[in-house]
């Protein structure tokens, strides 16, 4: 920014806007980054205003934590970023990927992390949202979601030759982390990144961890006009998403 940014002035500016919003401010003119300014209600009368401590499903922001966990394991010599993923994955997932035309002897962990494995993304397929909205209580497994990817799409190019954002790829990364550490993905991320040392009050991995006792309840969330607050967390749990965090914690 070219001028000094006042947190109070920014809060006042957005206070009259009825839409919930979150702002992270950093850059020139900011002595130290301040986490968020949020305005609005969650749409239900007599409910608390959204604030910096309100937890939300942070969806694909989770990928940053997953990737950092892999790099921590690499630092420890427990994983090779350029190793083929076939032997690293659960045999059933490897079988599924190969049945869909993917050469898991050539795709590496580095390819998965950088979205350059050429893997079709089940989550960006319009059929996925339709499917999960029609079965809001279904508990989705990694295998379910990988099967959708290989059923709905084909490999998008040889590994390392194309960039295509893929939740499916990060689901495979999540499986690899669990196999290497012997822990659930939530536990592995928390342990490797030492999240407990950061005094995060509103951060947990849905299903795999309990909601912190002092954390507020999650905010309502939408995709377009469709409310997805009560969709089973497994629709986005296995590595492409899964974390719940407040804006302040994030």
Residue 33 confidence (pLDDT):
63
What pLDDT, in 10s, does the model give residues 154-177? 999 999 999 999 999 999 999 999
Give the residue range(s) of CATH 3.40.710.10 domains in the chain.
Answer: 56-246
Residue 100 confidence (pLDDT):
98
What pLDDT, in 10s, does the model give residues 127-150? 999 999 999 999 999 999 999 999
Residue 46 confidence (pLDDT):
46
CATH of domain 56-246: 3.40.710.10
Cβ-based burial of 19 (10 A; exposed 0-12, middle 13-18, buried ≥19): exposed
Angstrom distance (rounded) from CA 207 to CA 184? 10
| pTM of the shown model | 0.84
Residue 18 confidence (pLDDT):
62
Percent of the chain residues past pLDDT 70, beyond the cut:
82
Residue for token digits 């342990």? Answer: 191
| Count of C-beta atoms within a 10 Å radius of residue 152 | 15
What pLDDT, in 10s, does the model give residues 191-201? 999 999 999 99
């Amino acid at each position: 920014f070219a001028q000094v940014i006042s947190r109070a002035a920014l809060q006042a500016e957005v206070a009259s806007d009825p839409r919930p919003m979150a702002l992270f401010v950093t850059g020139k003119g900011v002595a130290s980054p301040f986490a968020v300014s949020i305005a609005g209600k969650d749409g239900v009368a007599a409910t608390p205003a959204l604030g910096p401590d309100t937890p939300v499903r942070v969806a694909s922001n989770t990928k940053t934590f997953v990737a950092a966990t892999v790099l921590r394991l690499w630092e420890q010599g427990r994983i090779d970023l350029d190793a083929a993923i076939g032997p690293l994955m659960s045999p059933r997932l490897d079988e599924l990927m190969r049945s869909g035309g993917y050469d898991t002897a050539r795709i590496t962990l580095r390819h998965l992390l950088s979205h350059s494995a050429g893997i079709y993304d089940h989550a960006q397929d319009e059929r996925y949202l339709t499917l999960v909205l029609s079965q809001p209580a279904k508990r989705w497994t990694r295998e379910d979601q990988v099967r959708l990817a290989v059923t709905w799409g084909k490999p998008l190019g040889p590994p390392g030759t194309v960039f295509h954002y893929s939740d499916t790829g990060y689901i495979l990364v999540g499986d690899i982390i669990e196999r290497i550490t012997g822990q659930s993905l939530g536990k592995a991320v928390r342990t490797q990144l030492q999240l407990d040392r950061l005094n995060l009050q509103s951060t947990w991995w849905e299903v795999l961890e309990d909601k912190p006792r002092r954390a507020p309840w999650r905010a309502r969330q939408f995709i377009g006009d469709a409310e997805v607050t009560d969709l089973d967390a497994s629709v986005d749990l296995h590595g492409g998403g899964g974390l719940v965090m407040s804006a302040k914690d994030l």
